[in-house]
């Protein structure tokens, strides 16, 4: 970890001592984001800075729910009633404002400055914070925060319950974002080793060993039935999903990429709900070292009218979100089915055209039996 970045973070927090900050997570935060935000709040408290951790989507993955409940992490679901003008600055953790567009737009309207970005994904250029610490060599943002702790932004004490919770949360974040340490780099192993002195192994085991919900298993089964496989790429559109089932998409992609002779899996569905804007949400997982998920998805899906990419990623994983806009809604089954079919065929068309699938002529591909 660059000691200069750690000093700059310390200087930033010192310069804003006594303020209130908003910590912005992606719409559907994962353990890496949740744990890092929790530790950022803990560090900020040492500088008399009060932090609220905010997201606008859903927390639905069974491990994420367990993490939040067992560790007592306080998260605020964003809506129009949140008074953003009370914050002197915004901190973006495990994202660069491209996956939290509603909150970002509202913060810009309220003229709340972006103070910091701490992330490990590709540089996105959506905002211009006063300070940014983006470490592409790190497998998890949690590893960056572990280094902050090790370098003394605060000194962990195993007799302090909140410190044990922080170390346990960060360990979970590192473990999940590196595929159980399979994709971990030197920095991630170093961070995990440091945290092992303070984490609670029993609590960590309880978080990691939550059973997979029946609904997730049903979605995986649906993907297996309808997937299209071409030249090592597995594509599965899983249809309509409730917002609370959104996390089944990356879990299904994780599952499909383990199939023999498959190097890349892309899974997507049309997510809708009473409190969530209807949109296509997708995940990509790959074991192919020559495939860059960030570049792959950006080239296929492009940008919106504001110049923001619809997708992006890191070394072996990526995600995307496609707004439905005017086509959102509609309760008639025929209309819903037609709408899904159009999006499904278009996404498959773009994916297959990108890899130059043999014999691909733009027609809708046939599923594999």
What are residue 114's DSSP bridge partners? 90
pLDDT band for position 2 (50/70/90)?
low
- The answer to whether the CB of 24 falls within 8 A of the CB of 92 is yes
Token readout for 16 is 């804003």
Give pLDDT, residue 69. Answer: 85
Q: Look at residue 369 and tell me whether its pLDDT is greater than 50.
A: no
Residue 305 CA to residue 302 CA, distance in Å, equals 10
| Bigger pLDDT: 79 vs 17 | 17
Against a cut of 0.95, is the pTM above it? no
Residue 305 CA to residue 114 CA, distance in Å, equals 22
Residue 253 CA to residue 297 CA, distance in Å, equals 15
Give pLDDT, residue 362. Answer: 43
pLDDT band for position 1 (50/70/90)?
low
| Bigger pLDDT: 143 vs 176 | 143
- Average pLDDT rounded to a whole number, residues 317-323: 90
Residue 252 CA to residue 254 CA, distance in Å, equals 5
CA distances from 107 to 9, 22, 23, 119, 222 (A): 21, 10, 11, 19, 39
Q: Look at residue 174 and tell me whether its pLDDT is greater than 70.
A: yes
What are the b/e assignments for 2-12, b being 16+ CB within 10 Å? eeebbebbbeb
Q: Look at residue 331 and tell me whether its pLDDT is greater than 80.
A: no
Q: Look at residue 51 and tell me whether its pLDDT is greater than 70.
A: yes
Give pLDDT, residue 49. Answer: 98
Residue 104 CA to residue 115 CA, distance in Å, equals 13
**Among 131, 142, 98, residue whose Cα is nearest residue 294:** 98
- DSSP line for 21-68: EEEE--SS--HHHHHHHHHHHHHHHTTT-EEEEEESS----HHHHHHH
25-46 per-position pLDDT tens digit: 998 899 999 999 999 999 999 9
Task: Quickly tell me which residue has 């297959």 as its tokens.
Answer: 352
Token readout for 324 is 């439905």
Q: Look at residue 82 and tell me whether its pLDDT is greater than 50.
A: yes
245-300 per-position pLDDT tens digit: 888 999 899 899 999 999 999 999 999 877 677 899 999 999 998 999 999 999 99
Residue 241 CA to residue 281 CA, distance in Å, equals 10
- Average pLDDT rounded to a whole number, residues 217-233: 92
Give pLDDT, residue 211. Answer: 65
Residue 60 CA to residue 190 CA, distance in Å, equals 30
pLDDT band for position 304 (50/70/90)?
confident
Q: Look at residue 57 and tell me whether its pLDDT is greater than 50.
A: yes
Query: Domains along the chain?
Result: 3-208 (3.90.1640.10), 214-355 (3.10.310.30)
What are residue 312's DSSP bridge partners? 319
Q: What is the largest CA-CA distance in the chain?
A: 64
The SS3 call for residue 178 is: coil
- Average pLDDT rounded to a whole number, residues 229-244: 93
CA distances from 336 to 152, 170, 199, 221, 329 (A): 54, 41, 47, 21, 8
What are residue 276's DSSP bridge partners? 273
Give pLDDT, residue 243. Answer: 85
Q: Look at residue 312 and tell me whether its pLDDT is greater than 90.
A: no
Question: Taking all residues of the chain, what is their mean pLDDT, rounded to a whole number?
Answer: 89
Token readout for 87 is 């914050």
**Among 189, 152, 149, 188, residue whose Cα is nearest residue 167:** 149
What are residue 9's DSSP bridge partners? none
Residue 220 CA to residue 167 CA, distance in Å, equals 32
103-155 per-position pLDDT tens digit: 999 999 999 999 999 999 888 889 999 999 999 999 999 999 999 999 999 99
């Amino acid at each position: 970890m660059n000691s200069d970045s750690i000093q700059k973070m310390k200087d930033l927090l010192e310069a804003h001592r006594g303020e209130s900050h908003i910590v912005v997570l992606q719409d559907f935060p994962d353990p890496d984001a949740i744990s890092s935000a929790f530790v950022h709040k803990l560090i900020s408290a040492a500088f008399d800075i009060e932090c609220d951790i905010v997201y606008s989507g859903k927390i639905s993955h069974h491990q994420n729910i367990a993490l939040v409940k067992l560790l007592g992490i306080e998260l605020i679901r964003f809506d129009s009633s949140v008074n953003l003008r009370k914050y002197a600055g915004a901190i973006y953790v495990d994202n660069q404002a491209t996956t939290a567009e509603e909150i970002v737009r509202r913060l810009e309207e309220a003229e709340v400055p972006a103070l910091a970005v701490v992330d490990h994904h590709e540089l996105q250029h959506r905002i211009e914070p006063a300070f940014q610490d983006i470490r592409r060599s790190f497998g998890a943002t949690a590893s960056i925060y572990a280094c902050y702790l090790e370098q003394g932004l605060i000194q962990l004490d195993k007799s302090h319950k909140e410190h044990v919770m922080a170390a346990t949360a960060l360990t979970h974040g590192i473990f999940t974002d590196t595929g159980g340490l399979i994709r971990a780099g030197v920095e991630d192993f170093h961070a995990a080793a440091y945290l092992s002195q303070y984490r609670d192994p029993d609590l960590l085991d309880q978080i990691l060993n939550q059973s997979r919900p029946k609904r997730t298993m049903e979605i995986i089964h649906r993907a297996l039935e309808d997937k299209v496989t071409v030249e090592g790429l597995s594509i599965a559109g899983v249809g309509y999903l409730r917002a609370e089932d959104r996390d089944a998409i990356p879990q299904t992609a994780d599952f499909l990429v383990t199939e023999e002779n498959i190097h890349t899996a892309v899974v997507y569905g049309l997510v809708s709900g009473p409190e969530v804007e209807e949109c296509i949400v997708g995940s990509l997982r790959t074991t192919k070292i020559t495939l860059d998920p960030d570049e792959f998805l950006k080239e296929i899906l492009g940008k919106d009218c504001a110049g923001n990419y619809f997708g992006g990623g890191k070394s072996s994983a990526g995600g995307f979100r496609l707004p439905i806009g005017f086509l959102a809604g509609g309760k008639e089954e025929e209309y819903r089915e037609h709408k899904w079919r159009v999006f499904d065929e278009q996404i498959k068309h773009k994916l297959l055209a990108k890899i130059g699938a043999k014999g691909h002529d733009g027609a809708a591909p046939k599923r594999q039996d």
